[in-house]
Structure 1
Amino acid sequence: MKTKKANHDPLGIRLSIIIDRLYSGEGLSLPALATEFGVHERTIYRDLHERLGCIDIIRENGHYRLSKNQLGSRKTVADILKLAKITYIDRLFPSFDKELISVLSGNVTSPFIVYTPPPEELVTPFGSFTILTKAVIQRKCLHFVDKHHQRYKKYHLYRLIYVKQQWYLTGVIDKKLKVFSYQDVMNVEISDDESFDINEKILDIIISEAFIQNLPHFQVSVDIYLKASDGSSN
C-alpha cells in the first residue's frame, strides 16, 4: 500500500513504514521504494543495510523481506514493559508505561541520553554472555576457566550484575558464595543435565544494595555470607 505523502516523509516515518511492511511479511523492492519515497535507490539500500541493520533482513529474488526466524517475532508493549522491568531500565524513568512507549514508537532519534560508562576493558570473546544468561534463567550448572587457568565445575550462577563499569558473575560453588569478573571467565560451558535450586537467603544477599556496591571487593570466596545465611543451594 502506497501513500501520496511518502515523498515528503522524514527519515523516521520512512523507516517506520518499511519496518511495518517487513513485519507484515511483504517483499520490498529497492526501485519501488525509491520511487515511492522520492529518494535515490542508494538511500533505500542504506535504510535496509545500515539503518535497519539490527533487523534480520534477507534478499530473495530481488526483494528484501524479514527472515523466517524473525518474522512474527515483533514484540508487544507488554513485552517491552517486561524487558524494562527485568533489566531495571524502568527505574531510570519517572514513569515507564504504555503512554511513554506509544510516544517513542516509530521515533528513530532518541529524546534521551542515559549515559552509562562502558566497561573499562573490551569485552572478552570468551565470555559467552548469552550462555551465562541462559544458565541463570534455566538454573543450569556452569563449567569454565578463570584468568589463572583454574577450572571450575558446577558453578551455580544466581545473577549477572553490572556495577562500576564491570559485569560480575555472582553465585555458589562448593558451598561458598563466589564472585567472578565477567572479563576473567573463559571457555564457558552449560550443563544440560545438571541444575540447581536457588537458596533464597543467599539470593537476598546477592541482590542487596550493600553487596552490589561492594562487588569489586568480593572476587574471592566469601564463606562468611553463607555461614550467616545458614545454608547453600543444592
Structure 2
Amino acid sequence: MFQTNRKYDRMAVRLSALIARLMAGESLVLSSLTKEFNVSERTLQRDFRERLVYLGVEGQRGVYRLPLNTLNAYRDKDILTFVKQTGMTRLFPGLDSRLLNLLLSERKQAPCIIWHHAHRTSAEHSDNFYQLIYAISSYQQVIVLTDNHRFNPLYPYQFIYREGLWYLVAEYNKQVQVLLLDDIHQVQNLTMTFIPRDDISQLSRQNSFIAALPHFQVINQLIKPLTPIKEEI
C-alpha cells in the first residue's frame, strides 16, 4: 500500500511539472525528460497521450508542446481570472479578450500604465505569504507568530493590498483580526479546516473597512478594555 501511494505521488509531481512547463510554452524533449524524471519513454508517452490528452498536446519526433492557439486561450483565461480575483477589473472599462490582446501587444510604448506607491514588503516574507494564500484557498487553520503574540489557531480569510502593504484579514477567538504581513515571523499550517463566517467575508470587501486597515490595530486596542476576551489555551 505504501509503495503504491509513493508511485502515485511521483506521478502527480511529474504531471504537475509537465503541465506547468507546457503552459509556459516550453517544448519538451522526450529523451531529456526520461533522465529528469527517471522514467521510461513509454511512461512519458502515456502521460502525453492519455493522462494529459485533454490539453491537446502535439508530439513530433520526440518533442511535445501545446499548440499556439491553445496557449493563447489558456493565457487569456488565466489572466482574466487573475484580474477578476484580485479586484482589478474596475481599473479597465469593459475588460475582455479583445482588450486584453491589445494591452498585451508588444510595442515600444505600452497603451496603459498603472502608477502606484512603491511596494515596501520585502521578499523575505514570500514563504509566509505563500503558506497563508494556500491556507486561505483551502480554508485551513494556521498558527501565526508575531513579535507580541502567538495566534493559535488563526482562521485566515483574505489578503488586502493597500498603499504598498499587505494586510491579512483573519478570525481569531471569534473576532476579526488584521495582521500586517511584515509583522508575521512564522506560519505553521494545521490539518484542521474552518468554515468562513459570512459577516467577516463581507466585511473584507467593504471600502470603509479597507480604508481603515492602517488604523485597525489602534482601534482594536481601544475597544479591547470594553470587550475583554478570554484567550484559549
Residue of structure 2 in register with 1:231 after alignment: none
Residue of structure 2 in register with 1:42 after alignment: none
Contact 2:125 2:182 in 1 (8 A): no
Aligned letter for 1:130?
A: Y
Contact 2:154 2:171 in 1 (8 A): yes
Aligned letter for 2:143?
A: H
Contact 1:127 1:182 in 2 (8 A): no
Write out aligned runs for 1:65-84 (5 A). 75-84=74-83
Structure 1, unpaired ranges of 5+: 1-19, 28-64, 67-71, 225-234
Write out aligned runs for 1:186-225 (5 A). 186-191=185-190, 193-219=191-217, 222=220
TM-score by length of 1: 0.60
Identity of aligned residues (%): 24
Write out aligned runs for 1:121-200 (5 A). 122-125=122-125, 128-148=128-148, 150-191=149-190, 193-200=191-198
RCO higher in structure (CA 8 A, sep ≥6):
1
Aligned letter for 1:98?
A: S
Residue of structure 2 in register with 1:3 after alignment: none
Query: SS of the counterpart of 1:23?
Result: coil
Structure 2, unpaired ranges of 5+: 1-21, 30-63, 66-70, 224-233
Give, in whole Å, the separation in 2 of the partners of 1:99 and 1:126.
33
Give, in whole Å, the separation in 1 of the partners of 2:157 and 2:209.
14
Residue of structure 2 in register with 1:35 after alignment: none
Write out aligned runs for 1:44-83 (5 A). 75-83=74-82
Residue of structure 2 in register with 1:25 after alignment: 27
Aligned letter for 1:199?
A: R
Give, in whole Å, the separation in 2 of the partners of 1:158 and 1:85.
17
Aligned-pair CA distance for 1:123: 4.6
Aligned letter for 1:189?
A: Q
CA RMSD of aligned residues (A): 3.7
Query: SS of the counterpart of 1:128?
Result: helix
Contact 1:23 1:74 in 2 (8 A): no
Aligned-pair CA distance for 1:124: 3.7
Hey, which of these two has a bigger chunk of helix by percent? 2
Q: How many residues align?
A: 167
Cα 1:26–1:92 change in 2 (3 A) is same
Cα 1:195–1:115 change in 2 (3 A) is same
Residue of structure 1 in register with 2:94 after alignment: 95
